């Protein structure tokens, strides 16, 4: 049964599927507007078809198309797997021409459910699978995509499918038809795995050419759009290793929940073929079973243990890199001529010896400690620049190095100058270890038992090593000391302060204690951070700032893209509601002003979090179309009297867009990378009423910017996924890209109005600091005001007069009838650029920025 974590009006459920927990949110959200199909309906469909869906998709790297706002909104295409994905999702890396992508494998119902939760409606996979050890197998199926061109449809595709069946059966290949759920028909045939993708593509290409030669009036095998009018394209290219096809049983992102659905040849021959909807596919599956089941036996012949295939399992030389860096005639280190054998052989019934570890103090160019674990016949090795962690609250960095031979476990000596690793090596600690978890390349958890041979019995301690894919490169790991309770009873307990690195320097992200199974999630997701101020700390954190930029500034592989919200920045310090004890919320602006009294509807935040937190987000006022309107927000700003706030709230509600998690359960997460903070944010905050966690996307900048424009938003903020949180500082790891250029300005005066404005003001005089921080006159702002705004501005500015201009470069014509004010208030204008004289071009008033100080203002060039 699911655990119902619902709060307020928004239900949040956590379900356990095959031992994996999946958090489901916004189940009533409409995904297919035309039919009213909700996320709950999508998840129910996936559960109903999971068995055949997974059977055909398992082992295949999956690219996804996500409709997070429903199919009426923009689509986001994803290859790389987010770091926020659950650790239990199976994944594999693929080397592309200039980068590596990590793809999920749809190997189980839990993964399929998680994909449904994140609105990944379309799952596209290649015709080959990864093997158990990560080796790419040859294709186990051939596919032909029959794609109708303009003026043709399913009827024409059916005719081409029947012609193709004749050729395929003549090749001893049995084809199985699938209506794609979009436009055409896919034909699949099982293969025995004897040929690679290039060979299969070549055969498919020839088949397509043969169909074109036999039926030139209806078939085309060339993809040029100019040739496709009135014809069906036989797309053979999806047999390429790098191409994908919609997975059988996958939903499609159309107006209705159509499905890539298996069909029978009798249906095709009967005529009148149409695409099927999700409920129809479920009913057919219950009645007919999986019509594609014969495809699943296609690759079994490739698994026969012939001598040729068994030769591929010869032991890999894990010491090849080690030997390539050393010359046995020049270094005292052990350099075996052949790979070390596998684990030591034991006689029947004899218990194998416990594996060993060694930590060596290495005085090379810089002092570091080499940590080595016996595993798979070698010493798997990491260099620890600051040694192992001294307590459970401070992690240490580990950089994985090449595997070393087992003989290295007893090595001490001096490596000569000029040789690799030159310097003195001595044993700091050595002994045996208990293995709790070893996920190759991802996570290792061990309990070390010192034997004192390093000169000191350092007792027992449990360490977790977590691979951090986006921190410092592909070889970087976090080393975390787990709670003493997990260290076992062997030898003396590890005592605080006994670590290899001496006193703690706070480097790395801290993590709280936890069971071995949860350590990777805690460290990566920031389940708790290195000690720091609690959520109730007296001094609020200052938010991190983005720098202006453009799409061209962004490397698409390492950025997440969030929508830019047209509001005011607010740090929310939240004490969670507890049974019998209401929580509390404190809102502070970027410059530290207390905003809590102005926005009482946001007190609901305390019921939307599962623990005490500090959030970073934006307060916005939405129009009837759900778009942020900064003008509307102006009516809520600077109000503190309860009566005034209540009246303004009745006329205009505000919402809070939470986009970052700065503290969790009293521990700072500022050293945790963006992906980890983002995953933790989604875990602890439940959307309800005015509280939202807007989605982040990892597609590409241009797509995200286009989606922002389509949604009527201000732009995007691109955040480097490896970036830490830098309070109060602008950083190039956060880049804001706007559709309309805006400029913050310091108001330095105003001019008397004429005509209808004679009783208020005619224009504002504004300035912007130069690179040295000196205010420079930037021109007049005379548009963008409503009558109510003009009245309020006149009243507000009259309270801040001064006798002389705050800037010394105002032209005489502008200064002639000016009223000067103290340069202590910041506003915002929309502009089309800057003139060569340093004046704002076509400025339009947008409103006050009470969350900004004059020292925050910088010139933003277009």
Report how far residue 346's alpha carbon sits from residue 785's, in angstroms, rounded to the nearest whole number: 87
Q: State residue 183 phi and psi, 5-degree precision.
A: -130, -45
Contacts of 505 (CB under 8 A, 6+ apart): 386, 394
* Interstrand relation of 545-548 and 730-738 (parallel, antiparallel or unpaired): parallel
Q: Report helix, strand or coil for 214.
A: helix
What does each C-alpha distance from 745 to 30, 548, 588, 628, 738 come to in angstroms? 42, 16, 22, 21, 17
Counts for the chain of helices (H) and strands (E), in that order? 15, 47
CA trace torsion 601, 602, 606, 609 (10° rounding): 130
Catalytic residue numbers read 564
| Cβ–Cβ < 8 Å for 76, 131 | no
Angle, alpha carbons 314-318-321 (nearest 5°): 130
- Lookup result for tokens 């000391």: 481
DSSP calls for 181-212: SSSSEEEEEE--S-S-HHHHHHHHHHHHHHHH
Please report how many Cα atoms fall inside a 13 Å half-sphere around the Cα of residue 369, on the Cβ side. Answer: 21
Q: Report helix, strand or coil for 480.
A: strand
| Cβ–Cβ < 8 Å for 604, 690 | yes
Report how far residue 234's alpha carbon sits from residue 392's, in angstroms, rounded to the nearest whole number: 60
Report how far residue 735's alpha carbon sits from residue 731's, in angstroms, rounded to the nearest whole number: 8
Handedness of CA 672, 677, 679, 685 (dihedral sign): positive
Look up residue 150 and give its two tokens: 């303009």
Helix axes 154-170, 197-214, angle to 10 degrees: 120
* Interstrand relation of 655-664 and 691-692 (parallel, antiparallel or unpaired): parallel
Look up residue 403 and give its two tokens: 């595997």
* Interstrand relation of 356-363 and 367-375 (parallel, antiparallel or unpaired): antiparallel
Q: Which of 42, 49, 48 is nearest to 26 (CA)?
A: 42
Q: Report helix, strand or coil for 517.
A: helix
Report how far residue 505's alpha carbon sits from residue 501's, in angstroms, rounded to the nearest whole number: 9
Report how far residue 563's alpha carbon sits from residue 705's, in angstroms, rounded to the nearest whole number: 8
Report how far residue 104's alpha carbon sits from residue 127's, in angstroms, rounded to the nearest whole number: 15
Q: Which of 41, 70, 54 is nearest to 106 (CA)?
A: 54
Report how far residue 107's alpha carbon sits from residue 557's, in angstroms, rounded to the nearest whole number: 25
Helix axes 39-57, 109-117, angle to 10 degrees: 140
Contacts of 157 (CB under 8 A, 6+ apart): 146, 147, 148, 184, 185, 232
Report how far residue 379's alpha carbon sits from residue 79's, in angstroms, rounded to the nearest whole number: 34
Report how far residue 623's alpha carbon sits from residue 616's, in angstroms, rounded to the nearest whole number: 22
Q: Is 151 left (phi over 0), alpha (psi -120 to 50) or beta?
A: left
Report how far residue 746's alpha carbon sits from residue 775's, in angstroms, rounded to the nearest whole number: 8
């Amino acid at each position: 049964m699911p655990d119902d974590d619902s709060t307020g009006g928004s239900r949040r459920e956590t379900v356990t599927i095959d031992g994996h927990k999946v958090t489901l949110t916004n189940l009533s959200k409409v995904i297919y507007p035309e039919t009213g199909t909700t996320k709950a309906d999508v998840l129910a469909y996936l559960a109903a078809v999971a068995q055949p869906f997974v059977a055909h998709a398992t082992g295949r790297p999956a690219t996804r198309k996500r409709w997070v706002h429903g199919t009426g909104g923009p689509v986001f295409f994803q290859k790389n797997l987010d770091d926020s994905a659950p650790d239990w999702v199976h994944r594999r890396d693929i080397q592309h021409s200039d980068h590596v992508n990590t793809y999920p494998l749809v190997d189980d119902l839990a993964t399929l459910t998680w994909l449904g939760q994140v609105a990944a409606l379309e799952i596209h996979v290649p015709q080959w699978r990864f093997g158990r050890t990560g080796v790419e197998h040859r294709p186990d199926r051939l596919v032909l995509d029959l794609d109708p061109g303009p003026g043709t449809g399913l009827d024409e595709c059916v005719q081409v499918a029947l012609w193709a069946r004749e050729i395929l059966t003549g090749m001893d290949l049995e084809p199985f038809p699938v209506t794609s759920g979009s436009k055409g028909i896919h034909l699949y045939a099982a293969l025995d795995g004897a040929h690679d993708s290039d060979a299969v593509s070549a055969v498919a290409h020839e088949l397509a050419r043969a169909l074109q030669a036999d039926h030139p009036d209806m078939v085309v095998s060339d993809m040029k759009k100019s040739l496709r009018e009135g014809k069906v394209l036989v797309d053979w290219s999806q047999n390429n290793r790098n191409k994908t096809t919609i997975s059988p049983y996958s939903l499609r992102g159309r107006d209705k929940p159509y499905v890539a659905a298996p069909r029978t040849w009798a249906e095709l021959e009967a005529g009148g073929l149409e695409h099927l909807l999700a409920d129809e596919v479920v009913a057919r599956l219950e009645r007919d079973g999986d019509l594609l089941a014969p495809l699943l036996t296609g690759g079994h012949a490739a698994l026969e243990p012939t001598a040729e295939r068994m030769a591929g399992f010869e032991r890999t030389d894990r010491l090849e890199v080690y030997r390539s860096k050393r010359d046995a005639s020049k270094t005292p280190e052990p350099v075996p001529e052949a790979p070390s054998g596998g684990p030591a052989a034991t006689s029947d019934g004899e218990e194998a010896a416990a594996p060993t570890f060694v930590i060596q103090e290495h005085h090379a160019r810089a002092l570091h400690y080499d940590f080595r674990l016996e595993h798979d016949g070698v010493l798997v090795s990491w260099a620890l620049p600051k040694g192992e962690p001294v307590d459970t609250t401070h992690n240490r960095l580990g950089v994985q190095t090449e595997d070393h031979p087992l003989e290295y476990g007893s090595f001490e000596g001096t490596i000569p100058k000029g040789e690799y690793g030159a310097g003195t090596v001595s044993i700091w600690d050595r002994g045996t270890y208990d293995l709790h978890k070893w996920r190759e390349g991802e996570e290792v958890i061990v309990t070390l038992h010192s034997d004192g041979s390093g000169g000191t019995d350092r007792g027992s301690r449990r360490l977790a090593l977590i691979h951090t894919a986006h921190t410092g490169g592909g070889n970087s790991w976090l080393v975390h000391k787990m709670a003493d309770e997990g260290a076992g009873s062997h030898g003396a307990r590890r005592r605080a302060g006994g670590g290899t690195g001496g006193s703690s320097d706070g480097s790395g992200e801290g993590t709280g204690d936890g069971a071995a199974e949860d350590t990777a999630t805690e460290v990566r997701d920031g389940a708790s951070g290195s000690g720091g101020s609690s959520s109730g700390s007296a001094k609020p954190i200052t938010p991190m700032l983005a720098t202006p930029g453009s799409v061209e500034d962004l490397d698409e592989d390492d950025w997440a893209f969030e929508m830019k919200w047209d509001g005011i920045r607010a740090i929310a310090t939240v004490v969670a509601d507890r049974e019998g004890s209401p929580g509390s919320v404190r809102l502070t602006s970027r410059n530290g002003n207390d905003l809590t009294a102005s926005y009482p509807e946001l007190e609901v935040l305390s019921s939307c979090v599962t623990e005490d937190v500090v959030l970073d987000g934006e307060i916005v006022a939405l129009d009837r179309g759900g778009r942020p309107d900064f003008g509307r927000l102006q009516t809520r700003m600077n109000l503190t009297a309860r009566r005034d706030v209540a009246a303004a709230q009745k006329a205009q509600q505000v919402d809070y867009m939470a986009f970052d998690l700065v503290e969790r359960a009293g521990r700072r997460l500022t050293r945790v990378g963006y992906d980890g903070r983002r995953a933790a944010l989604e875990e602890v905050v439940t959307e309800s009423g005015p509280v939202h966690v807007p989605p982040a996307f990892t597609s590409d900048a241009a797509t995200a910017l286009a989606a922002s424009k389509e949604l009527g938003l201000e732009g995007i903020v691109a955040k480097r996924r490896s970036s830490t949180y830098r309070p109060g500082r602008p950083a190039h790891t956060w880049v804001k890209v706007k559709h309309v250029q805006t400029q913050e300005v310091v108001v330095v005066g105003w001019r008397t109005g004429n005509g209808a404005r004679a009783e208020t003001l005619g224009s504002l005089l504004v300035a912007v600091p130069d690179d040295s921080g000196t205010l420079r006159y930037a021109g007049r702002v005379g548009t963008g005001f409503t009558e109510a705004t003009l009245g309020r501005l006149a009243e507000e500015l009259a309270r801040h007069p001064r006798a002389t201009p705050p800037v010394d470069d105002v032209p005489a014509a502008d200064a002639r009838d000016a009223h000067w004010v103290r340069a202590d208030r910041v506003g915002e204008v929309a502009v089309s650029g800057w003139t060569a004289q340093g004046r704002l071009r076509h400025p339009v008033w947008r409103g006050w920025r009470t969350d900004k100080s004059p020292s925050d203002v910088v010139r933003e060039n277009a």
